[in-house]
Amino acid sequence: MKSEAGVVPDEHKVLVEDYENLIIVHSCFGSVVNDTIGRFLAALLTTRVGSVGFKSDPYRIMVQFQTREGAKNAELVRKILMKTNPEHLQDYLELSLTKSEMFEWRFVHVAKRFGAFTRDVQFGRTRLKNIIAEYIGTPLYKETLREIETEKLDVRKSSEMLRELQAGRIKLLFHTGKGISPLGRIGVKHKYAEIIGPEKPTKELMALFNRRIMDTKQRMVCMNCGEWSQTYTIKDMPADIKCPKCSAKLLAIVHPMDMETQKAVLKKLKDRPLGTTDQEMLERARKSSDMYITYGRNAVIIMAGRGIGPATAKRILGRYHVKVEDLLKDMREAEVNFTKTKKFMKT
């Protein structure tokens, strides 16, 4: 990166400078766009370097790293700004927003409007985080995100700014290793408003996760005769299951509402014509039955995870797990990684 001295940032130029463990992005696009871009940067940086401090104003975005690696940190910021697909900005923002104080504050207000909380309720931050984790994906959770994105951020203008930057219509310039500029000095006079860090699996969150998995229902379908299937709640299912019709252990693991896989198995066994959908269901069933023969009840447990496909499931099951709790920890990590990476690849 070429170091630029004496550059005055404006609507056509963005200047990045490093100072100690700070990266200062001089971006003259107003408080709303800068806050949006700053939260987006923080979200992606936490997945690479851990917790970062973040602050913005109408003229700059500042990110505080844990280490003083100016050129390296500046290069990370450059890659994020220049390589991230602007279409995925909103997805990345949600990673940052849901761990912010802003989200917690707004969530409580929305919950009171929805009638989920009483008007005078009060929570400690740890307790509130655990409660929010239980509401992930619900209308209350989604409404909180929608209100923040509508009232506090500007995803459309921020996405357009990224497009202009990546197209070269807005220049991205760097001033590194030369001390802090007068413009940068103005920004560092104040303390950082927020610390954004990667999600950590507290005991309370792990307990909620474990309960969700163990309360999940899975259907077992016999691949050998096709004449038997049964649904079990994981916490209540026997350690060793065999088909009561043919005594086979070649059992597929499917969704409890899935009645079609068993029909496809019977078609296959009776040499009836199979459609494309039938073949796809049979392939999924074959993979899960292979895992059940090899790993037993642990295979049923892992198939209850969100976003955990056969390849990930086999990789996790191939590790040594002394207790079921060890398996559940690996599953939760896989779910978190899935949430962070889905739809985020640049096309």
Tell which of 164, 179, 200 closes a domain: 200
Q: Is residue 346 a part of any domain in this protein?
A: no
Tell which of 200, 222, 246 closes a domain: 200
Same domain flag for 81 and 127: yes
Q: Is residue 5 a part of any domain in this protein?
A: no
Q: Which stretches of 231-309 are DSSP H helices?
A: 260-269, 276-295, 297-302
**Residue 224: what pLDDT?**
93
Q: Answer yes or no: are the C-beta atoms of 300 and 253 closer than 8 Å.
A: yes
Q: Answer yes or no: are the C-beta atoms of 110 and 140 closer than 8 Å.
A: yes
Q: Which helix (H) or strand (E) holds 205?
A: helix 203-214
Q: Which amino acid is at 158?
A: S
Q: Is residue 6 a part of any domain in this protein?
A: no
**CA pair distance 159, 86, nearest whole angstrom:** 5
Same domain flag for 51 and 88: yes
**CA pair distance 71, 87, nearest whole angstrom:** 28
Measured from the Cβ of residue 269, the count of other Cβ atoms closer than 10 Å reads 13
Q: Is residue 106 a part of any domain in this protein?
A: yes
Helix (H, G, I), strand (E, B) or coil at 284: helix
Same domain flag for 28 and 150: yes
Q: Is residue 126 a part of any domain in this protein?
A: yes
Q: Which amino acid is at 316?
A: I
Q: Answer yes or no: are the C-beta atoms of 274 and 282 closer than 8 Å.
A: yes
**CA pair distance 18, 175, nearest whole angstrom:** 7
Same domain flag for 92 and 119: yes
**Residue 326: what pLDDT?**
85
Strand partners, 284: none
pTM of the predicted structure, to 2 decimals: 0.53
**Residue 344: what pLDDT?**
38
Same domain flag for 156 and 26: yes
Same domain flag for 213 and 193: no
Strand partners, 25: 16, 61
Same domain flag for 191 and 211: no
Tell which of 200, 225, 257 closes a domain: 200
Q: Is residue 62 a part of any domain in this protein?
A: yes
Same domain flag for 265 and 194: no
Q: Is residue 150 a part of any domain in this protein?
A: yes
Same domain flag for 304 and 248: yes
Domain housing 333: 207-341
List the pLDDT tens digit at each of the 347 positions of the chain.
444 556 788 889 999 988 878 889 999 999 999 999 998 998 888 878 877 888 888 899 998 887 777 678 888 999 999 998 998 888 888 877 877 778 888 888 888 888 877 777 776 766 777 788 778 878 888 888 888 888 888 999 999 999 999 999 999 998 776 677 777 777 776 544 454 555 554 566 677 778 888 888 999 999 999 999 999 999 999 888 999 999 999 999 998 888 899 999 999 999 999 898 889 899 989 999 999 988 899 999 998 887 787 778 888 888 877 788 888 888 888 876 665 544 433 33
**Residue 6: what pLDDT?**
62
Number of domains in the chain: 2
**Residue 337: what pLDDT?**
67
| C-alpha count within 13 angstroms, C-beta hemisphere, residue 268 | 23
**Residue 181: what pLDDT?**
78
**Alpha carbon separation from 175 to 203, 224, 234, 237 (Å, rounded):** 44, 68, 57, 62
Same domain flag for 191 and 324: no
- In 3-state terms the chain splits into helix, strand, coil percentages (rounded to 5) of 50, 15, 35
**Alpha carbon separation from 242 to 87, 226, 302 (Å, rounded):** 49, 13, 19
Same domain flag for 175 and 127: yes
Q: Is residue 164 a part of any domain in this protein?
A: yes
Same domain flag for 52 and 194: yes
